[in-house]
A = this chain, B = another copy of it.
Amino acid sequence: MAGQLVGFVGLGVMGRPMARNLLKAGFDLMVHDLNTAAVGEAVAAGARDGKSLEGVAEAGIVVTMLPDTPDVEAVLLGPGGLAEAMRRGSVLVDMSTISPIATRSFAEHLNARGVPMLDAPVSGGFQGAEAGTLSIMVGGEAEVLERCRPVLAAMGTTISHIGEAGAGQVCKACNQVAVAINIHAVAEAMTLAKKNGVDPARIRQALLGGFAQSKALDLHGQRVLDGNYKAGFRVQLQRKDLKIALEAGTASGTPLPVTALIQQLYGILDATGRGELDNSSLALLMQELAGITAEA
C-alpha cells in the first residue's frame, strides 16, 4: 500500500487537502494541475510533479477531482488525455461531482481501452476533505473498488458502494437534491417564525425534537440564528450540482419541481452577487423576499 504510485489531477479547494491526506497515508503521489502554485504546494508537501496528464498516467490508480463535467471530459478524452495515456489495467477514479450520464459514457470509453473507472463523488465539504472524513459514494465494479479502497480510505471514512458505473453520481445528485430541499425547509420555517414575531431559536429547538429534525435544521438553522452565511459550500457549486440533478431528471423522465424551483432561487442569489456565500443563504433570500433587512 504505502509507497504505491497514485496519480492526482485537480488541486482545487477539495483536491488540495485530499492530496495531502494521500501523502500522509504514505502514497507516492504524482500530481498535475494547471495552477502551478497549487502544484508547488503539493510538491513542498512531498508529492512529485507529473508535469502533464501523460506524466500522471504512469500511476496504477489515477484520481481526478475537477469542477464540472466538461473539465473531466477534457482531462479524460481530450488530446493527450488520460484515456490515451493510461496503461491497460490501471484504474481511473473520478471523485468530481459531474453528470451521471456523461459518467456512464466516460466509463464505457475507458473500459473499451482496458481501463476500469470508478465514479466516486464525495460529500462532507472542505472540512471533510481536510479531516479525511469524506463520505464517498461509489459506482463501478466491486472488485475495482476493492483495489482502490486503501486510496479512498485515506480521504474518507464512509465508502458506500451504490451500484454500477454512474451510480455514485446518481447518489450524489440525490444527496444534493435532499440537502438543498432540506435547507430550503429551514429557510421557509425560520422566515415564517421571524415574520410572526416568534423567537427562531426556540422554533429550531422545538423542531429538532420531532419529525422536522434534520441535519440541515441543526447546522444551517444555527447559521440562520447567527446570520452566518460564509461558505462552507458555495451557492455557485450547489447551483451546479442541482443543474446536474435536473439534467439527470430530464434524461430519465423524472420531474423534480421543487429542485427546479430551488435551483432558480440559487440563481437569484448568484445573479445578485451572493454566489460565493454558503448554500444556506436560501434563508437570507427568503428573509429578504419577506422584507427582513439583510444580515450578511
Interface residues of A (CB under 8 A from B): 100, 123-124, 135, 137, 158, 160-163, 166-167, 170-171, 173-175, 177-179, 181-182, 184-186, 188-193, 195-199, 202-203, 205-207, 209-217, 219, 245, 248-249, 252-259, 261-262, 265, 286, 289-291
Copies of this protein in the complex: 2
Q: Which residues from chain B contact A256 at a C-beta distance below 8 Å?
A: 188, 191-192
Q: Which residues from chain B contact A207 at a C-beta distance below 8 Å?
A: 171, 174-175, 178
Task: Please tell me if the beta carbons of A258 and B255 are within 8 angstroms of each other in the complex.
Answer: no
Q: Which residues from chain B contact A173 at a C-beta distance below 8 Å?
A: 192
What are 13 A-B contacts defined by CB distance under 8 Å? A158-B210, A160-B202, A163-B202, A174-B207, A175-B189, A175-B211, A177-B188, A178-B189, A182-B214, A185-B258, A188-B254, A188-B256, A188-B258
> How far apart sit A258 and B193, CA to CA, in the bound complex (Å)?
16
Task: Please tell me if the beta carbons of B257 and A261 are within 8 angstroms of each other in the complex.
Answer: yes
> How far apart sit A249 and B160, CA to CA, in the bound complex (Å)?
41
Q: How near does chain B come to A77, taking the closest CB pair, in angstroms?
A: 23
Given contacts A212-B182, A290-B253, whether A100 and B171 have CB atoms under 8 Å apart is: no
Task: Please tell me if the beta carbons of B181 and A181 are within 8 angstroms of each other in the complex.
Answer: yes
Given contacts A198-B170, A219-B211, A248-B192, whether A206 and B253 have CB atoms under 8 Å apart is: no
Q: How near does chain B come to A157, taking the closest CB pair, in angstroms?
A: 9
Task: Please tell me if the beta carbons of A206 and B170 are within 8 angstroms of each other in the complex.
Answer: no
Task: Please tell me if the beta carbons of B252 and A196 are within 8 angstroms of each other in the complex.
Answer: yes
Q: Which residues from chain B contact A249 at a C-beta distance below 8 Å?
A: 192, 195
Task: Please tell me if the beta carbons of A290 and B254 are within 8 angstroms of each other in the complex.
Answer: yes
Q: Closest residue of chain B to A291, judged by CB?
A: B253
Task: Please tell me if the beta carbons of A162 and B202 are within 8 angstroms of each other in the complex.
Answer: yes
Q: Closest residue of chain B to A187, judged by CB?
A: B258
Task: Please tell me if the beta carbons of A209 and B174 are within 8 angstroms of each other in the complex.
Answer: no
Given contacts A174-B192, A209-B158, whether A184 and B181 have CB atoms under 8 Å apart is: yes
Task: Please tell me if the beta carbons of A182 and B181 are within 8 angstroms of each other in the complex.
Answer: yes
Q: How near does chain B come to A102, taking the closest CB pair, in angstroms?
A: 13
